[in-house]
Amino acid sequence: MTAVDGANAGPAGPGTVPDAVLRAGPVTGPDVRPEAGPADGPDGPVPVVLAGGRGHGSWHLENLRRLSEAGRVRLAGVCELQPLAAEELAGFDGVEQSPDLAGLLERTGARITVVCTPIHTHTELALTAARVGSHLLLEKPPTPSYEDFRRLTEGLAAAGTACQIGFQSLGSHALDAIAGLIGGGAVGRVRGIGGAGAWVRGEDYYTRAPWAGRRTLGGRDVVDGVLTNPLAHAVATALRIDGSDRAEDLAGIELEQYRAHEIEADDTSCLRLTTARGTRITVAVTLCAERTADPYLLVHGDRGRITFWYTRDRVLVQRAGHAPEERLYGRTDLLEDLLAHLATGSPLLVPAHRTGAFTRVVEAVRTAPPPVRLTEPVWHRADGPAWRSGGTAPRRVISGVDELVAASAETLSLFSELGADWAVPAGVPGGEEERRP
C-alpha cells in the first residue's frame, strides 16, 4: 500500500483500533498546554504522540522512525487499545503507551499528535489534542460529517493549534507544476477535470476492522466508502487543482453509489461536482476492478490535456503542435511540512479549512440513500491478492468497470450516462434495490 492508499485501512488484529474509541479522556482545563522545553526548539527533536499505531498507522510509525533517526522528532508516546509489541517499536526508546490520549499528552508534553484511527474517532481525538495545545497531523477523511468538521475547525481556532490533514497527494510538487501549466495557458481554457480509480480489493478487505465498509457503527457515522476513504485522494486532489477546495467553493454535487460486496457503504461510485467557478469535476472509482491500475486525474483543456497519476507524482502534458511531455516530481512529507510550519510559520500544505469542499462531498455521501446493490451477473467471483496477509482471497469483479471508470474521466460523465445497464441516474432513489443487467 502506498502512502496515499486508504489511510485508516488496516487489518484487524491484536491492538488494531476497532469500533471502540481510544479514550479521549478529560483534560484539566481549556488552558492546559504542554510546557516548552529544549525538545520543542530547533536544537532538539519535537516530541510526538501517535494515536493508532497499527493498520495504516504502521506507515506513520515508519515515517516517525525515519524522522527520529534524522533527529527531527522523538516518539514520546503511542495511544492504542493494546500496546505495541517491542518489535513494532524497534529503534525507539522510552515510548509511553496508553489508551488514554489526554493523559498521555499531558504526561509526555507532545507538541504534535498524529491521529490515524477509525474515521468515527477522528473528531474527538483531534479536539482532545487541540485542547492541550498539541498540533495535529490528522488522517483523511478529517471527519465523517460536515457538522463534525465545523466542530473540528472551530475547536482548532479556539485552541490556536495547527492541523494538517493527511492527504499525502497534496504534498506532490506536481501540483505547483500543473497550476503553472494551467495558469500559463498551456492547455487553453480548462473545460473540466476527470478522475479515475480502479483498484482490486478482496472480500477480506471488508473484514479488516469492524468499521470497514460501514456507513454507521453503534449509531455513529463512519462513511467508509470508496469515494471517502481508499480513493478519496482523487476527489481532494481534483478540487485542489481547480483551486476549489474550501467549503464555499462547491455549487453542486451529483452522486451515484453502488456496492457489489455485502457491506453498507459503496465500493463502486461516481460523482460530478460543479464548482463555484463553473468547473465540472467527475470522479469514478471502484474496488471491484478487473485489474489494478494507478489512479489518475485528467485535466481537459480546449487546446490540450494534462494527466496526473497522483500516487506516482507523474505528469503527462499533451497539446496540439507539441510532442508529449512527461515528468516525475518530488513530494513533501506532510509531517515534515507541519514541522516546518511550527518552526518558521510557513503555510501548511493541507490545513483543515482547505478540506472543506471535500468534507461537503463526505456529507453528500453520508446523507445519500444507501448504495444500489449490484447482484450477479453484474459482478462475478475471482481470486485476488489477500489483504496484507499474502496468498489469495476471493474477490468480486464488476464486468467492464475498468473501461467505464476510464470513460467517465474521458467524457466527464456519470455511469448512468455511459450506458451501464445497472446504473441509476443521480438523484433517482436506488437504495437497497437490486440491479441486474
CA–CA separation, 110 and 125 (whole Å)? 14
Predicted local confidence at residue 12, as pLDDT: 32
- CB neighbours (10 Å) of residue 140? 29
CA–CA separation, 76 and 73 (whole Å)? 9
The count of C-alpha atoms lying within 13 angstroms of the C-alpha of 295, restricted to the half-sphere facing its C-beta, is: 31
The residue to which cell 488514554 is assigned: 100
- Nearest Cα residue to 173 out of 266, 264, 240, 124: 240
CA–CA separation, 219 and 225 (whole Å)? 17
DSSP characters over 61-99: HHHHHHHHHTTSEEEEEEE-SSPPPTTTTTT--S-EEES
Predicted local confidence at residue 390, as pLDDT: 81
DSSP characters over 139-198: PSSS-SSHHHHHHHHHHHHHHT--EEE--GGGGBTHHHHHHHHHHTTTT-SEEEEEEEEE
Predicted local confidence at residue 21, as pLDDT: 35
What are residue 333's DSSP bridge partners? none
Go through the domains of the chain in sequence order and give each one's CATH number: 187-330+353-419 (3.30.360.10)
Predicted local confidence at residue 220, as pLDDT: 98
Predicted local confidence at residue 42, as pLDDT: 52
- Tens digit of pLDDT per residue, the chain (437 long)? 233 333 343 333 323 333 233 445 433 333 333 333 333 455 699 999 999 999 999 999 999 999 999 999 999 999 999 999 999 999 999 999 999 999 999 999 999 999 999 999 999 999 999 999 999 999 999 999 999 999 999 999 999 999 999 999 999 999 999 999 999 999 999 999 999 999 999 999 999 999 999 999 999 999 999 999 999 999 999 999 999 999 999 999 999 999 999 999 999 999 999 999 999 999 999 999 999 999 999 999 999 999 999 999 999 999 989 999 999 999 999 999 999 999 999 999 999 999 999 999 999 999 999 999 999 999 999 999 998 878 899 999 999 999 999 999 999 999 999 999 999 998 665 545 555 55
Predicted local confidence at residue 257, as pLDDT: 98
Predicted local confidence at residue 389, as pLDDT: 77
Predicted local confidence at residue 33, as pLDDT: 33
Predicted local confidence at residue 426, as pLDDT: 80
Predicted local confidence at residue 435, as pLDDT: 59
The answer to whether 99 and 80 are in contact (CB under 8 A) is yes
